[in-house]
């Protein structure tokens, strides 16, 4: 029989000082470049390296409060957004909301500003929009646009105002009528008819979620189809906006965002 030729190792592998990629992270912070034999014969030096965890060891309320305060110190603000949780946090906004019942309650527990969670009335929105209008007239000589809401730091989203009155243009009309002494008539948000969700879509959503509630993670219980972004807040029937929830979690969530 003709012996099979052995595959040749790369030149770098035949080098006595070569360190394979899986072990390179162990030598990254060492003051020397050890060979593989030196690496394991100097374990005490490797074991003295400071290894900090980049995750939370516990997700109890006290740990979440401490993490929210840490993120607030990084951002330099007294309130956190979902983007702050994603960029700097080791816990998600969804987990914080689940532990405390809502993000507003989580902010209160952490001693942070929760005023931006307030549910403003139409009158409150008209007053804020009128004040914003005065500022944009002074600075730019025009009526405000949606981007001005964030620019001037209003405690509400511009899209919330537009949705509440039907559109941004209709919100400006209502503000103008209010400032001229006429009774402003906020336009109701557009009513969206609920389309029937087919059994096939329900099956695919339940299968994707492994027949488990997305909030409490229980399986083997009665499941219902839920909209991640509720229909009353503009959510659609797209599969990405559907999830499986157990009956208690669905009733508790209601029309809120997760």
Report the pLDDT value the prediction gives residue 80, as an integer from 0 to 100: 85
Task: Please state, in angstroms and rounded to a whole number, the distance separating the CA atoms of residues 123 and 46.
Answer: 64
Residue indicated by tokens 């099956």: 203
Report the pLDDT value the prediction gives residue 199, as an integer from 0 to 100: 87
Report the pLDDT value the prediction gives residue 183, as an integer from 0 to 100: 46
Residues of the chain with pLDDT under 50: 12-13, 16, 18-19, 22-23, 26, 183-187
Task: Please state, in angstroms and rounded to a whole number, the distance separating the CA atoms of residues 218 and 245.
Answer: 9
Report the pLDDT value the prediction gives residue 62, as an integer from 0 to 100: 92
What separation in angstroms does the CA of 60 have from each of 57, 64, 66, 86, 129?
Answer: 9, 6, 10, 19, 40
For the chain, the 3-state helix, strand and coil shares in percent, each to the nearest 5, are: 50, 5, 45
Tens-digit pLDDT profile for residues 200-210: 888 999 999 99
Report the pLDDT value the prediction gives residue 194, as an integer from 0 to 100: 63
Domain ranges of the chain: 21-51, 61-117, 122-179, 199-253
Look at residue 56 and give its three-state secondary structure: coil
Question: Do the beta carbons of residue 35 and residue 19 sit within 8 Å?
Answer: yes
User: 228 CB contacts (<8 Å, ≥6 apart)?
Assistant: 235, 240, 241, 242, 243, 257, 258
Report the pLDDT value the prediction gives residue 48, as an integer from 0 to 100: 64
Report the pLDDT value the prediction gives residue 72, as an integer from 0 to 100: 92
């Amino acid at each position: 029989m003709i012996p099979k030729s052995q595959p040749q190792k790369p030149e770098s592998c035949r080098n006595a000082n070569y360190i394979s990629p899986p072990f390179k992270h162990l030598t990254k912070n060492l003051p020397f470049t050890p060979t593989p034999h030196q690496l394991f014969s100097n374990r005490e030096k490797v074991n003295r390296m400071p290894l900090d965890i980049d995750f939370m060891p516990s997700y109890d309320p006290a740990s979440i409060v401490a993490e929210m305060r840490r993120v607030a110190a990084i951002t330099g603000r007294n309130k956190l957004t979902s983007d702050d949780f994603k960029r700097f946090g080791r816990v998600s906004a969804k987990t914080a909301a689940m532990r405390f019942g809502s993000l507003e309650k989580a902010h209160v527990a952490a001693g942070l500003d929760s005023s931006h969670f307030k549910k403003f009335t139409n009158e409150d929105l008209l007053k804020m929009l009128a004040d914003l209008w005065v500022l944009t007239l002074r600075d730019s000589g025009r009526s405000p646009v949606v981007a001005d809401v964030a620019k001037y730091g209003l405690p509400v989203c511009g899209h919330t105002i537009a949705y509440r009155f039907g559109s941004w243009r209709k919100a400006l009309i209502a503000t103008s009528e209010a400032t001229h002494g006429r009774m402003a008539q906020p336009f109701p948000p557009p009513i969206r008819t609920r389309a029937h969700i087919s059994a096939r879509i329900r099956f695919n959503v339940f299968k994707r979620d492994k027949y488990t509630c997305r909030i409490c993670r229980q399986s083997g219980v009665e499941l219902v189809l839920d909209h991640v972004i509720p229909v009353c807040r503009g959510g659609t029937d797209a599969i990405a906006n559907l999830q499986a929830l157990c009956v208690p979690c669905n009733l508790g969530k209601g029309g809120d965002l997760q």
